């Protein structure tokens, strides 16, 4: 006795089974009548362009919101090498919570970025260039 049914090729069985499982899970996770809370939106990211000259930041003061994502686009317009370091939540340089520009050495004419999350606590936090730590400084005020 021969069957009139056609067999499904083996290589199609796995995708069909996967799609079936997804459909079952979607139906099982379907909405009930319970109320949901919409997600809270975080503050929009703060973005700053900063020029590194020979021994200065321009601008050198920044204001952000507590916990806000912050992105600095950094351009070395000087002749010397530079970078930018954020002192971190403890506002003390050269320890584990510091954030340094993506390129630790930014050569003349080059650009880099520094991305960080602002501290949760309001206050004034320090920035510096590792190569010119006395002259090339700045601050981030967190509100």
Q: What is the CATH number of the domain that holds 93?
A: 2.60.40.420
**Residue 123 domain-assigned (yes or no):** yes
**Residue 32 domain-assigned (yes or no):** no
Q: 46-53 and 99-100: which strand pairing?
A: unpaired
**Residue 116 domain-assigned (yes or no):** yes
pLDDT at 98: 98
Domains: count for the chain: 1
pLDDT at 136: 97
The pTM score is 0.70
Task: Using DSSP, state whether 28 is helix, strand or coil.
Answer: helix
The residue among 62, 56, 110 whose CA lies nearest residue 86 is: 62
The residue ranges of the chain whose pLDDT is under 50 are 21-40
pLDDT at 94: 95
**Residue 12 domain-assigned (yes or no):** no
pLDDT at 86: 98
pLDDT at 16: 55
Q: Which H or E element spans position 137?
A: strand 137-142
**Residue 125 domain-assigned (yes or no):** yes
- 29/22 Cα distance (integer angstroms): 10
In angstroms, what is the C-alpha Rg of the chain? 27
- 123/90 Cα distance (integer angstroms): 11
**Residue 129 domain-assigned (yes or no):** yes
**Residue 131 domain-assigned (yes or no):** yes
**Residue 29 domain-assigned (yes or no):** no
Q: Which H or E element spans position 12?
A: helix 10-28
| Cβ atoms within 10 Å, residue 112 | 21
> Which structural domain, as residue segments, surrounds residue 120?
46-142
Task: Using DSSP, state whether 89 is helix, strand or coil.
Answer: coil
């Amino acid at each position: 006795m021969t069957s009139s049914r056609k067999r499904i090729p083996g290589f199609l069985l796995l995708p069909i089974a996967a799609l079936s499982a997804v459909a079952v899970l979607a139906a099982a996770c379907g909405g009930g009548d319970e109320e949901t809370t919409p997600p809270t939106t975080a503050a929009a990211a703060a973005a700053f362009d900063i020029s590194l000259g020979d021994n200065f930041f321009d601008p050198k003061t920044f204001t952000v919101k507590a916990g806000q994502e912050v992105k600095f686009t950094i351009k070395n317009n000087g002749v010397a090498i530079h970078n930018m370091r954020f002192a971190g939540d403890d506002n003390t340089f050269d320890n584990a919570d510091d954030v340094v520009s993506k390129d630790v050495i930014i050569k003349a004419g080059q650009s880099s970025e520094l991305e960080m999350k602002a501290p949760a606590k309001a206050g004034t936090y320090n920035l510096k260039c590792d190569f010119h730590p006395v002259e090339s400084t700045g601050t981030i005020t967190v509100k």
